[in-house]
Chain A
Amino acid sequence: MNTSYESWGRYPGAKQDHLSLQWATSKLPISGTEGKTLLPYGNGRSYGDSCLNDAGVLLDTRRLSRFIDFDPATGVLSCEAGVLLFEVLKLIVPQGWFLPVTPGTRFVTLGGAIANDVHGKNHHRAGTFGCHVRRFELLRSDGKRLLCSPHENADWYRATIGGLGLTGVILWAQVALRRIANPYIDLETVRYDRLEEFFSLSKDSDRDFEHTVAWLDCMARGKALGRGIFMRANHAPALCRAHPSEPRRRLSLPVDLPFSVVNGLSLRLFNLLYYHKAPRTRRREVVHYVPFFYPLDAIGNWNRIYGRRGFMQYQCVIPFADGPEATEEVLQRIRRSGAGSFLAVMKVFGKVSSPGLLSFPRPGITIALDFPNHGRRTLELLEGLDSVVREADGAVYPAKDARMSVESFRLYYPQWAELEGFVDPRFSSSFWRRVTGVVQ
């Protein structure tokens, strides 16, 4: 039972009521909430405040967890918006299908994946999650129901994909899946020593590999700046001889740590070990899809390692024009702060455009990492990173943000004013009020 309704970064806090939606065919149970704003809430895996609604009401969608239809011949799945990707995978993988796009955790709802137009390691091929959503039903606070697809209510379709839950409640959706022959991943790991190598590896790999991503050592300095481990992979072929099993053990942090154990020392150690654990040149192996796509899902409530103050995730994208220089500048600033994270990742986004009006991914280099919340020090560091991203015409990911300024948001997402026209008059979020400058 989730009675806490936090975001994954556990910062900022919010005090809000919640109502549970039980049936897609019912009206919204919102009588008595007059004067308060509403916001759909899935599984709370957005990091910042885009899933929070301080002083308002959250509409918990987790009980909308029914499958509607799945055709194993065509790989078209329809299900209610509160179904977790974890549950979808359980159903489809044994039947030879996989998610067309997956974020780094299985514990997000289908509705959340659409509302944040999430992306994955195959962005250069497949684009965002929204690219594979055929249709969905949107329920507005006035009771109106809109069936949205690229052909029907197309403007609502665009506004709702990446629309941060503000356009209404997504009740169910239909998604086109990707065929697989087995649950295995043919993975090649390449250690690289400098940032330039990341760019050349990406360029070479994106042609032949469906999934590419790099983990980077955010404590490395000088010529080693940006060094890391490049992972490139394809779904394994049908007759693949290795059959790695799915790791069974699932650890969990049962309680909050009193303070963050992520500090300069633990970071330096982890980064050093992780980097040197990888073979000097390259290694090819067959792995199960779970540890490849969802390494952090193995540790329940991993967000608790950051202690009670929580943490902030930062993910930006830097267009190719200023790519290498701006990327280097971002990495320099993070390294100098000494506050980086265990898992900093970097990837090149491709040209496949998203149907979403407010979608984050665009061609360029994306960097994601988390920072323990040290208050003003952290906020200043991230504002500094924003200054680089703004200069490079980049953007920051709303699903991970808890602090970008009104000015930054308007620069990153000039189309925000257009989205306002689709926002349900009763709906709002802590994030939306913050970045549009609405004072409560």
Chain B
Amino acid sequence: MRKILIVGATSAIAQALARTYAEDGDRLFLTARGAERLAAMAADLRVRGADRIETLQLDSNDLDRHQDLIIRADAALGGLDVALIAHGTLPDQAACEAAFTTAREALETNFLSVVSLLTHLANAFEAKGDGVIAVISSVAGDRGRQSNYLYGAAKGGVSLFAQGLRNRLYKSGIAVVTIKPGFVDTPMTAGLAKGGPLWSTPERIADGIYRAIDRRTPEVYLPWFWRWVMLVVRLIPERIFRHLRL
């Protein structure tokens, strides 16, 4: 039985993943901002077979509570094997360009709060000498593009931070899994035009995350083809890239 902490548990991808763990009979500690949503999700996971579900209403930007969160999750589940950081927003690029306060908020949610959580988790896991820390980054963090470079910068920062952390924790037997989904049909992407072969579902992404955590894959693109799409995107020389409308 796994003991799993999910931060930002009511996101569509985290919900789908939590169902799989519940059906495996695992124990979960879930945090999210909305108490009603957490309660609905907890009820669902209990019916699906979870061994135990604990919830905590938490705004991930409340950095002062991160340390306490990890202690509470560990105590409530009787240990921690896996921690997944799944919270995030998709900031409006134009609004971030117009007002730095908006950009700052987006960076706080999508980068700083993740760094805080990862720091506390790393120290807690390092002391135990085992476990998996997974974080949902994005393909958007692989290269800056005019259409969403604020989000991209936050996610790129997360990917780099996780990379360094993985390097640090390897010798302690702790796996750090960086997850880079492409376009996913979730409420977060409600503002975008959807459909077509590049779009995926939260369930498909969750399947990929489940496997990656299970196999302790260092870095995973979901679905798989994004690895090659982003390789091409990264290979385009900057002299050419700057002309493109991406």
Q: Which 4 A-B pairs have the closest CB atoms?
A: A67-B47, A66-B44, A3-B195, A25-B36
Q: How far is the CA of A25 from the CA of B194 in the complex (A)?
A: 25
When the two chains form the complex, which single residue of A1, A3, A24, A70 contacts B40, counting CB atoms closer than 8 Å? A24
- In the complex, the answer to whether A69 meets B47 with C-beta atoms within 8 Å is yes
Q: Residue A224 at the B interface, CB < 8 A?
A: no
Residues 47-87 of chain A, each 1 if its beta carbon lies under 8 Å from chain B, else 0 = 00000000000000001001111100000000100000000
Q: Residue B187 at the A interface, CB < 8 A?
A: yes
Q: How far is the CA of A69 from the CA of B43 in the complex (A)?
A: 7
Known: A23-B37, A68-B43. A1 touches B195 (CB 8 A): yes
Chain A neighbourhood of B201, CB < 8 A: 1
Q: How far is the CA of A69 from the CA of B44 in the complex (A)?
A: 7
When the two chains form the complex, which single residue of A22, A25, A67, A69 contacts B187, counting CB atoms closer than 8 Å? A22
Residues 1-40 of chain B, each 1 if its beta carbon lies under 8 Å from chain A, else 0 = 0000000000010000000000000000000000011001
Known: A1-B194, A67-B47, A68-B47. 10 other contacts (CB 8 A): A1-B200, A20-B187, A22-B187, A23-B37, A25-B37, A66-B40, A67-B43, A67-B44, A68-B40, A79-B47
Q: How far is the CA of A317 from the CA of B36 in the complex (A)?
A: 45
- In the complex, the answer to whether B194 meets A66 with C-beta atoms within 8 Å is no
Q: Residue B81 at the A interface, CB < 8 A?
A: no
Interface residues on A, range: 10 to 19
Q: How far is the CA of A117 from the CA of B43 in the complex (A)?
A: 27
- In the complex, the answer to whether B194 meets A3 with C-beta atoms within 8 Å is yes
Instruction: Give A20's nearest chain B residue, CB to CB.
Output: B187
Q: Residue B115 at the A interface, CB < 8 A?
A: no
Q: Chain B: interface secondary structure?
A: helix
Q: How far is the CA of A25 from the CA of B199 in the complex (A)?
A: 27
A193 to B: closest C-beta gap in Å: 49
Chain A residues 105 to 137 lying within 8 A of chain B, measured CB to CB, are none
Q: Residue A91 at the B interface, CB < 8 A?
A: yes
Q: How far is the CA of A66 from the CA of B53 in the complex (A)?
A: 15
Q: Residue B41 at the A interface, CB < 8 A?
A: yes
Chain A neighbourhood of B187, CB < 8 A: 20, 22
Chain B residues 169 to 222 lying within 8 A of chain A, measured CB to CB, are 185, 187, 194-195, 199-201
Q: How far is the CA of A398 from the CA of B194 in the complex (A)?
A: 32
Q: How far is the CA of A91 from the CA of B46 in the complex (A)?
A: 12
Q: How far is the CA of A68 from the CA of B199 in the complex (A)?
A: 30
Chain A neighbourhood of B43, CB < 8 A: 66-69
- In the complex, the answer to whether A25 meets B40 with C-beta atoms within 8 Å is yes
A57 to B: closest C-beta gap in Å: 14
Q: Residue B120 at the A interface, CB < 8 A?
A: no
When the two chains form the complex, which single residue of B36, B48, B194 contacts A91, counting CB atoms closer than 8 Å? B48
Instruction: Give A4's nearest chain B residue, CB to CB.
Output: B195
List 24 interface pairs A-B (beta carbons < 8 Å), by A numbering: A1-B194, A1-B195, A1-B200, A3-B194, A3-B195, A20-B187, A22-B12, A22-B187, A23-B36, A23-B37, A23-B40, A24-B40, A25-B37, A25-B40, A66-B40, A66-B43, A66-B44, A67-B43, A67-B44, A67-B48, A68-B40, A68-B47, A91-B47, A91-B48
Chain B neighbourhood of A24, CB < 8 A: 40
Task: Name B's A-contacting residues (CB within 8 A).
Answer: 12, 36-37, 40-41, 43-44, 47-48, 185, 187, 194-195, 199-201
Q: How far is the CA of A69 from the CA of B47 in the complex (A)?
A: 6
Chain A neighbourhood of B200, CB < 8 A: 1
B42 to A: closest C-beta gap in Å: 10
- In the complex, the answer to whether A1 meets B47 with C-beta atoms within 8 Å is no
Q: How far is the CA of A345 from the CA of B121 in the complex (A)?
A: 61
Chain B neighbourhood of A69, CB < 8 A: 43, 47
Chain B neighbourhood of A22, CB < 8 A: 12, 187
Q: How far is the CA of A23 from the CA of B40 in the complex (A)?
A: 9
B113 to A: closest C-beta gap in Å: 23
Chain A neighbourhood of B48, CB < 8 A: 67, 91
Chain A neighbourhood of B40, CB < 8 A: 23-25, 66, 68
Instruction: Give A71's nearest chain B residue, CB to CB.
Output: B47
Listed residue (B41, B47, B48, B187) with the most chain A CB atoms within 10 angstroms of its CB: B47
- In the complex, the answer to whether A66 meets B41 with C-beta atoms within 8 Å is yes
Q: How far is the CA of A70 from the CA of B43 in the complex (A)?
A: 10
Instruction: Give A25's nearest chain B residue, CB to CB.
Output: B36
Q: How far is the CA of A1 from the CA of B199 in the complex (A)?
A: 8
Instruction: Give B194's nearest chain A residue, CB to CB.
Output: A3
Chain A neighbourhood of B47, CB < 8 A: 67-70, 79, 91
Chain B neighbourhood of A70, CB < 8 A: 47
B6 to A: closest C-beta gap in Å: 16
A154 to B: closest C-beta gap in Å: 27
Q: How far is the CA of A43 from the CA of B48 in the complex (A)?
A: 21
Chain B neighbourhood of A79, CB < 8 A: 47
Q: How far is the CA of A70 from the CA of B201 in the complex (A)?
A: 27
Q: How far is the CA of A299 from the CA of B245 in the complex (A)?
A: 44
Chain B neighbourhood of A68, CB < 8 A: 40, 43-44, 47
Q: How far is the CA of A23 from the CA of B36 in the complex (A)?
A: 9
Chain B neighbourhood of A66, CB < 8 A: 40-41, 43-44
B216 to A: closest C-beta gap in Å: 29
Q: How far is the CA of A1 from the CA of B197 in the complex (A)?
A: 10
Q: How far is the CA of A63 from the CA of B12 in the complex (A)?
A: 9
